[in-house]
Amino acid sequence: MTEVPISWFLTLSAVLFVLGVAGFLFRRNIITVFMSIELMLNAVNLTFITFSYQLKRVNGHLFAFFVMVVAAAEAAVGLAIILTIFKNRGTLNIDDVDSMKN
């Protein structure tokens, strides 16, 4: 049985990361924008795991766990912030959240 080459994993995670960036920049719904950030973080996790496997070192796995914990904390705070936005404005379109200009 042949193994899947390392570079495929790295390419996949790079593609996921770029998709996340694109989603962040072009999507207009706040929840989708937030999900794009999560996608970016998970792309990074995949990179960590791949390198960890390649280097035969376990610390990359640990880093992925740290990232997951931080992402969970970020999601808790982020969803709370999005909720207050919705409560005060009744919209989740990012272009409508623009009240400060000179």
Partner 1 sequence: MPASFTSAADLIRLLPEIILTVMGTFLMVLDPILHKRSSRAFGHLSILALAGGIGGSVYAYAHAGPAFGGMLMVDGFATFFRVLVMVVGILTVLPSYRFLNRQDAETSEYHALLLFSIAGQCLMAAANELIIVFIGLEISSIASYVLAGYLRDDKRANEASLKYFLLGSFATAFFLYGVALIYGSTGSVNLIAVRAAISGQNAPEPVFLGLAAALMFVGLGFKVSAAPFQIWAPDVYQGAPTPVAAFLSAGPKAAAFAVFLRIFMTAFEPIGGGWEPLVWISALLSMTIGNFAALLQSNVKRMLAYSSIAHAGYVLVALTARSETGTAAAMFYLAAYALMNIGAFAVVSHLSGRGERYQNIDDLAGLGQKQPLTAAMLAIFLLSLIGVPLTGGFFGKFYIFKAALDSHLYWLAVLGLLNSAVAAYYYLRILVMMYMHEPGEAVEAVEPLSLGLRAALILPAMGTLFLGIFPAWVLDFAGKSAALVK
Which residues make beta-bridge pairs with 29?
Answer: 93
Name the minimum Å distance from CB 2 to partner 1.
Answer: 22
Give the HSE-up count for residue 98: Cα atoms under 13 Å, Cβ half-sphere: 6
Name the minimum Å distance from CB 1 to partner 1.
Answer: 25
Which residues make beta-bridge pairs with 93?
Answer: 29
Name the minimum Å distance from CB 64 to partner 1.
Answer: 9
CA distance 65 to 27: 28
**1 versus 27: smaller Cβ distance to partner 1:** 27
**2 versus 64: smaller Cβ distance to partner 1:** 64
